[in-house]
Amino acid sequence: MTFLRQAGVIARKDLRIEIRGRHAVGTMVPFAATILIAFGFAFGPGRDVLERVAPGLLWMALLFSAVMASRRAYQVETEDGALEGLLLAPIDKATVFLGKTAAVALELLVLTIAILFLVVLLFDLALADLGPVVLAFALGVIGLATVGNLFGVVAEYARTREAIFPLLVLPLVTPVLIAGVRATDLATSGQAAESASWLGLLAAFDVVFVSAGILVFGYVMED
């Protein structure tokens, strides 16, 4: 119970900082909206094309936003050396990983709702079978937040952190991107039952990376 309570304390702290500073959401929402609108114009007014590319655009906007949110989650820790404070606190460091991952995942969920709304509005995406779509995004944001946090702390100790972070994260989250796009595409094109295997892949990815994060995060944080 102490473990989950401490993770909750870290998550509340990060969410409070984000709500007050609006750093991540203030950057992510306009960024995601710009991507969607720019591609909307690029593909022209044809409804068929827009419907086909909408799942890919949605996930691409979410992916880049996840990179930004995860970087921000560690910037607040290094502005005044707070990360050293967490390191020296006599707590299981896995609680820091879980708390920060939960906070980023929640931020991304809020963003997902906003960009889903935009996609439905701009691209006329059909969300008749909402269950698999919601599940795909819920599992997807957990996967993106998990990898982002695991490598956020790794990058924090690198001198070229701004360059190295996307290089570490983007190749690793490719399975999330592929599975997310396929699951969303199938669910929005009337083949929801066939999205189960992709949802399974997303769930498996989450289990592997959450477990890995809990096990190794403490070692990564230490000198």
Partner 1 sequence: MRTLSRQDVGLREAAVDLRGVTRLFGEVPAVVRVNLAIERGEAVVLRGPNGAGKSTLLRIVATSLSPTYGGGAVLGFDLANEREQIRRRCELLTHRTRLYEELSARENLLLFADLLRIEPARVDEALEHVGLARDADERVRGFSHGMRQKVAVARTIVRDPELLLLDEPATGLDDSARAVVDAMILDAAAKGRTIVIATHHAVTAGLSARVVSMRDGHVEGQT
Residues forming contacts to partner 1 in the complex (CB under 8 A) are 6, 9-10, 13, 16-17, 20-21, 76, 79-82, 84-85, 87-91, 222-223
Q: How far is the CB of 106 from partner 1 (least distance, A)?
A: 17
Q: How far is the CB of 41 from partner 1 (least distance, A)?
A: 36
Q: Which residues contact 12 (CB under 8 A, 6 or more apart)?
A: none
Could you give the CA distance from residue 111 to residue 156 in angstroms, rounded to a whole number? 24
* Cβ neighbours of 46 (radius 10 Å): 9
Q: Which two tokens stand for residue 27?
A: 């950057």
Q: Which is nearer to partner 1, 82 or 215 (CB)?
A: 82
Q: Which is nearer to partner 1, 12 or 130 (CB)?
A: 12
Could you give the CA distance from residue 101 to residue 73 in angstroms, rounded to a whole number? 9
Query: What does the chain come to in residues?
Result: 223
Q: Which is nearer to partner 1, 75 or 189 (CB)?
A: 75
Q: Which is nearer to partner 1, 82 or 196 (CB)?
A: 82
Q: What is the DSSP letter of 121?
A: H
Q: How far is the CB of 172 from partner 1 (least distance, A)?
A: 28
* Cβ neighbours of 162 (radius 10 Å): 9
Q: Which is nearer to partner 1, 9 or 158 (CB)?
A: 9
Q: Which is nearer to partner 1, 80 or 162 (CB)?
A: 80
Yes or no: say if 187 and 132 are a contact pair by the CB < 8 Å rule: yes
Q: Which two tokens stand for residue 7?
A: 């993770």
Q: How far is the CB of 21 from partner 1 (least distance, A)?
A: 5
Q: What is the DSSP letter of 124?
A: -
Q: How far is the CB of 40 from partner 1 (least distance, A)?
A: 34
Q: How far is the CB of 81 from partner 1 (least distance, A)?
A: 4
Task: Using alpha carbons, select from 25, 61, 26 the residue that is nearest to residue 40.
Answer: 61
